[in-house]
Amino acid sequence: MSSRRNWIFINFTWLLVTGLIWSYGAFKAHFASSPDAGFKVEQLQKQVSNLKEEKAKIAYQFEDFRQNAALDWPQSRKNDYRWPASVSFDLSTSLYDKGRRSFQEKKWDDALLEFEKILTDYPYSKWVAEAQYYTCEIHFQVRDYKDTADCVTQMVQLFPENPLTGFQLMRLAQVHEMVGEPEEALEVYRYVQSQFSSEPILKKQSEESIQRLEKL
């Protein structure tokens, strides 16, 4: 019952906002012939801008509601509620939050799925660098060292100055040590030291690793 009330409220609000935005065109044409048209149109533009923001929020709420409610709806009813194909919005934040939770719970496959969705479906999201970082980290945690190396290499290409890249380079150096390649590891540690010297943690860790390997 609660899901039905939420559905009715969201649909009513959506129709109301859409109607107001549609009315903007008619109002604009009317005011264009008035002496104070510029002032009135400017006011309307501000109102429409606010309405568009509200419309985007409602769209996000609707999609979140639809995804959660879909689990409880009978299969025969699921096809009755389809989102227009022309409407798209960014769900990368939701995917990132889910991925982080799964990562913290060490559900590596679930976390990897969410982060890869961000990289594939939302390549311009603000979470792309973080998604790439966690993707590399998951490969490292499950000891898939080849995919770790490939992932870190791609991260260096995409985000060469991001501190997260520096931390994954440290992982790459650790991989080289694990497979018996101390010289390659030393080279990576030195690269981190030179490229991320302004990051205290990376500077300290890389220096300590270099000193340790040079003593061998």
**Domain assignment of residue 210, yes or no:** yes
How far apart CA 139 and CA 141 sit, in angstroms, is 6
Whether 163 and 99 map to the same domain: the answer is yes
What angle is formed at CA 86 by the lines to CA 12 and CA 73, rounded to 5 degrees? 55
**Domain assignment of residue 83, yes or no:** no
At 59, the amino acid letter reads A
Could you tell me the pTM of the whole model?
0.60
Boundary of a domain, candidates 10, 44, 78: 78
Could you write out the DSSP letters of every residue in 143-183? T-HHHHHHHHHHHHHH-TT-HHHHHHHHHHHHHHHHTT-HH
Nearest to 152 by CA among 183, 113, 191, 124: 191
- Please give the residue that has the higher pLDDT: either 73 or 90: 90
Residue span of the structural domain in which 15 resides: 2-78
The size of the chain, in residues, is 216
**Domain assignment of residue 85, yes or no:** no
Could you write out the DSSP letters of every residue in 179-202? TT-HHHHHHHHHHHHHHSTT-HHH
Does residue 59 have a pLDDT over 70? no
- Please give the residue that has the higher pLDDT: either 87 or 113: 113
Nearest to 141 by CA among 116, 105, 114, 165: 105
Could you write out the DSSP letters of every residue in 29-50? HHHTTSTTHHHHHHHHHHHHHH
Boundary of a domain, candidates 78, 101, 126: 78
SS percent in the chain: helix, strand, coil, step 5: 75, 0, 25
- Give the model's pLDDT for residue 81: 45
Whether 56 and 97 map to the same domain: the answer is no
Interval 165-201: pLDDT, tens: 999 999 999 999 999 999 999 999 999 999 999 999 9
Whether 96 and 167 map to the same domain: the answer is yes
Whether 126 and 25 map to the same domain: the answer is no
Interval 65-77: pLDDT, tens: 554 444 444 554 4
- Quote the mean pLDDT of the chain: 77
Q: Report the CATH number at residue 101.
A: 1.25.40.10
**Domain assignment of residue 18, yes or no:** yes
Whether 127 and 47 map to the same domain: the answer is no
Whether 153 and 124 map to the same domain: the answer is yes
